[in-house]
Amino acid sequence: MNSSAFLPLAFLTNPFASLASALGLNGISNPISGPSAGGGSNCISGTVALSINTPGVKISYQAPQDQKAVTGAFVEMFQVGSSFAADIISGPSTISGTYKIFVKLCLPTDPDVLANVKTVQLLSHGATLDHTYWDIAPGYSYVDVASAAGYATLSYDQLGVGRSDHPDPIQVVQATSQVAVTHALAGLLRSSKLGGYKFDKVVGVGHSAGSTLTQAITTQYPKDFDAVILSGTTASADTVALTVAAFNLINANTDPSNQFRSLAPGYLTQQTSVGIQFAFYRFPNFDDDVFRRQVAHKSTNTLGVLLTLGSIVAPSPEFTGPVDLVNGEHDLVFCGGNCVEPVDQNQAALSLFYSAAGKGSQSYIAAGAGHSIAAHKSGPDSFKHMVKFLQDNGL
């Protein structure tokens, strides 16, 4: 990182104010500064305006208006031999527009460590989560572990999620538009147009659907990332339908919390914490307070993404950087509750998707964890492994 262009003396005495001022002039609108949720990083958050133009599909389907119709759609989608998705996709489309994306850039608190930051990690969250997955609470913050090790992180809310824009949930918020947003953010970090920072390396870090987006980047834009860390994902989708069904998804605008009341039908969220635990957590290996925080920060997914996510999954034969696969021992979504039997699902995914991955590639099983590895008691150990993977590869 070019600290001379970026670290004014005032930052040492008032880091948040100085950082906000610097970033406000370099691509992040309405910047707000403060500590991370974990308390170990200096962060600045705001929005960036991203213009995307990407192929999509025309979905000839009106969003279900009531709960019976929502439930009926998922029954049709997941029944044996279903052609539901194929029947309602009527042709290609172009998804084009400029959208505001919420971002949070976090940095080491130690000025000496900050001055030597060279690598930034682009953190992509999973479905029905938001950027807070990476920075839940003290002791459960990947952002803070990365900062302490000398890395910058940029987390963000995907299109249609959290504090980002919420366009049409069927025709606009599709898998390809999410890939376009992630690609655009990687480009900003590489071109030093975000916050004035000059980073030498950009690493893609994903969780669950965020790993699917990150992996799609390595297929379509293999030069975007110098390395990737993928968590909560494998090459198997056998139990995805089971866990999505467990969510008991509802139109988000009917959620009793009223936090999503302004959203259009087609934006979905989980009805209860029971479904969240069923799909994401392994009892009793998680902290109750962390679980409550994650439930409170539940977010949305769209019918557009659910109907198109599989279309972006493909091997990445041109990506030659190192790859790290991290999964919970008891991940139900992608391992059916056992990621090591009858085969090591991490190794199976590496072999299928990354035939040319760098020799420094690794994998890791998070002991006792379910799908959301960051929220389990073994989360800190997973974070240490992820950082060590980067250090082992000179990043």
Q: Which tens digits make up the pLDDT trace of 330-372?
A: 999 999 999 998 889 999 999 999 999 999 999 999 999 999 9
Q: Which residue has the tokens 């962060």?
A: 43
Q: What percent of the chain has pLDDT over 70?
A: 92
> pLDDT tens for residues 78-119?
999 999 988 999 999 999 999 999 999 999 999 999 989 999
Q: In this predicted structure, what is the pLDDT of residue 24?
A: 42
On the question of pLDDT at 51 being above 90, the answer is yes
Q: Is residue 9 predicted with pLDDT exceeding 60?
A: no
Q: What is the pLDDT of residue 6?
A: 37
Considering only 206-210, 338-342, 387-391, which range has the smallest mean pLDDT?
A: 338-342
Domain hosting residue 306, numbered range: 3-392
% of the chain surpassing 90 pLDDT? 83
260 has a pLDDT exceeding 70: yes
pLDDT the model gives residue 334: 94
Contacts of residue 178, Cβ cutoff 8 Å, sequence gap at least 6: 158, 159, 213, 305
Q: What is the CATH number of the domain that holds 174?
A: 3.40.50.1820
Taking residues 183-199, report their average pLDDT: 82
The residue type found at 376 is H
More confident residue, 15 or 251: 251
Model-wide pTM > 0.85 = yes
State yes or no: pLDDT of 125 exceeds 80: yes
Whole-number Å distance between alpha carbons of 209 and 178 = 10
Residue 261 pLDDT exceeds 90: yes
Please report which confidence band the pLDDT of residue 209 belongs to, taking 50, 70 and 90 as the band edges: very high
What per-residue confidence (pLDDT) applies to 58?
97
> Averaged over 298-318, what is the pLDDT?
95
Q: Are 380 and 140 in contact (CB under 8 A)?
A: yes
Alpha-carbon distance of 200 to 227, in angstroms, equals: 12
Given a cut of 60, whether residue 3 has pLDDT beyond it is no
- pLDDT of 21 > 60? The answer is no
pLDDT greater than 60 at residue 38: yes
Give the total number of structural domains in the chain. 1
Rounded-to-integer distance, Cα 1 and Cα 118, Å: 5
Q: What is the mean pLDDT of the chain?
A: 91
d(CA 373, CA 384): 12
Q: Is the pLDDT of residue 8 over 50?
A: no
Query: Are 281 and 376 contacting, i.e. CB atoms less than 8 angstroms apart?
Result: yes
The pLDDT of 185-201, averaged and rounded, is 82
- At residue 237, the pLDDT reads 87
Q: Residue 192's pLDDT band (boundaries 50, 70, 90)?
A: confident
What is the band of 196 on the pLDDT scale with cuts at 50, 70, 90? Answer: low
